[in-house]
Amino acid sequence: MDRLLIEGGEPLVGTIPISGAKNAALAILAGSLLATEECLISNVPRLLDVQVMLEVLATLGVKVQDSAGSVVIDAANLTDYSTPYQLVTKMRAAFFVLGPVLARAGQARIPLPGGCAIGSRPVDLHLKGLRSLGARVAIEHGFVEAAADQLVGAPIYLDYPSVGATETIMMAAALAEGTTTLDNCAQEPEIVDLANFLIKLGAKIQGAGTEQIVIEGVAKLGGCAHKCIPDRVEAGTYLIAGAMTGGDLLITGMRPDHMTSLVSKLQEIGVSVSLADEDVMTVRADKPLLRPVDVRTMPYPAFPTDLQAQVMALLSLIPGTSVITERFSRIVFCM
């Protein structure tokens, strides 16, 4: 499909089920490389990024069975430690395989997401964490090359609560010798979901979802069945769409506890958002009664950057002045 025809002007009314979380699924698929037995991962969204990740796993010698939202991964015989340049540069999250491959194979050669571009590296915190665990890390010709006879647990402080770095270090530390204490961690639900998956495999992890995660390394991880959490960004997008159109939506299969900051902001705007069941929310809006607000995006559990564009569109329809502060930048709307 190369064109969408959208006829607007109508309120959105009806029931919408929420898909599995892409960001949780990608990290969990990478984490399955740590397992020596089969993993059944369900509620996996049908997205191009997921397909690319499955292709990356296949290049490492992993057996992949993909059908109808569930994926079976068998990484018992990890046969390679290097991934193709064209796959990792196609989708940044494929870089997440670095930590698990290093922990399993003792070495890894993964392309940088940005290739050989000069300037700040978006994966510096990942590499800092792996070096702290005892890995020898070098960057050559757009590839990260890492090796370690045995990763060893260590205290690690993240300069910034990076989701990707938290996940990479947590996965690598799961098979390290000794205890890793990771401070200033990201606290996103996707990190908790990854930790829960690893714990099912046999990992010893405490504190996921807080500023400090403690990982006691184990010698081997097995297999498990795991269902990915629902996508909070997709759910939030539909909540905002219902508000924008003056609609009446029933959104099912979501996690209301992951939506607290958005729901609070929508209620401040004047949108009616209520819990209909433990995983169901309703959203209703009377557009003439909506009010301008200020929004500041920050790391979870604050208002998410991934919903900034959607709420900006909503606020552009509301009379008055709204201000959005995206960390270090500021956007002002006046109507």
Planar angle of CA 167, 257, 171, nearest 5 degrees: 10
| DSSP-assigned states of every residue in 170-196 | HHHHTTSBSEEEEES----HHHHHHHH
- Residue 118's pLDDT band, with cuts at 50, 70 and 90, is very low
Phi and psi, residue 208, nearest 5°: -60, 135
Residue 67 has a pLDDT of 87
Task: pLDDT band for 86, please (50, 70, 90 cuts).
Answer: confident
Whether the per-residue pLDDT at 240 is higher than 90: the answer is yes
Residues of the chain with pLDDT > 90, as a percent, come to 84
Give the tokens for residue 75.
Answer: 């990484």
User: Which regions of the chain carry the CATH code 3.65.10.10?
Assistant: 13-18+230-334, 22-227
For residue 333, what pLDDT band results from cuts at 50, 70 and 90? low
196-221 as b/e: b if 16+ CB within 10 A: bbbbbbbbebebbbeeebbbebbeeb
Confidence at residue 142, expressed as pLDDT on a 0 to 100 scale: 86
Backbone angles phi, psi at 140, to 5 degrees: -135, 120
Q: Which CATH class is domain 13-18+230-334?
A: alpha beta
**Considering 39, 116, 224, 228, which one is annotated as catalytic?**
116
Q: What is the average pLDDT value for the chain, to the nearest integer?
A: 93
* 48-59 and 22-31 helices, crossing angle to 10°: 10
116 annotated active-site: yes
Phi, psi for residue 181 in degrees, rounded to 5? -110, 115
Q: Would you tell me the crossing angle of helices 232-244 and 308-315 to the nearest 10 degrees?
A: 10
Q: What's the confidence (pLDDT) of residue 330?
A: 65
pLDDT digits (tens, 9 = 90+) for 244-290: 999 999 999 999 999 999 999 999 999 999 999 999 999 999 888 99
The pLDDT of residue 92 is above 90: no
Confidence of residue 329 (pLDDT cuts 50, 70, 90): low
For 22-227, CATH number out of 3.30.70.100, 3.65.10.10, 3.40.50.150, 1.20.120.160 equals 3.65.10.10
Contact 26, 197 (CB under 8 A): no
Please compute the mean of the pLDDT values over residues 195-200 and round it to a whole number: 98
